[in-house]
Amino acid sequence: MATHHVTTKWLGDMAFEATNPGGTIKMDSDPEYGGHDDGLRPKAMMLASLGGCTGIDIASLVKKMKVDIDTFTIEVEGDLTEEHPKFYHTVRVDYHFYGMDLDQTKLQKIVDLSVEKYCGVMEMFRHFAKVEVRILYH
């Protein structure tokens, strides 16, 4: 069984620094909540983690399946509940693929593999949110 370890250190006011094996990130809140707008928001980082997790899958599968694309982006948007504790109840993940003669069948399969089989962050989100997925070809 794999275990991940992250250390989060308070930097004062509402700022924190989190360190994991891949690097360090700074978190803060906006001034409305006592922060200085000098770091990433914890909830938004969850959306970024979802984009990063599925993005790594996509990059790996595009290479493995020899699909020709110029680039791709992933947009993740989440709707929070009104009551505390606020959490994402609905999350939308839009995959944007760019290139000439995109193989839509293979790209659909690649996204499906990430969404349904490989992306652990996506699976975690499904435990508390409705996840909607779209693929757009440019």
Task: State how far the Cα of 17 lies from the Cα of 28, in Å rounded to an integer.
Answer: 9
Give me the pLDDT at residue 21, please. 87
Q: Torsion over CA of 31, 47, 79 and 122, rounded to 10 degrees? A: -160
pTM equals 0.93
**pLDDT tens digits for range 60-84:** 999 999 999 999 999 999 999 999 9
pLDDT category at 91 given cuts 50, 70, 90 is very high
101: left (phi over 0), alpha (psi -120 to 50) or beta: left
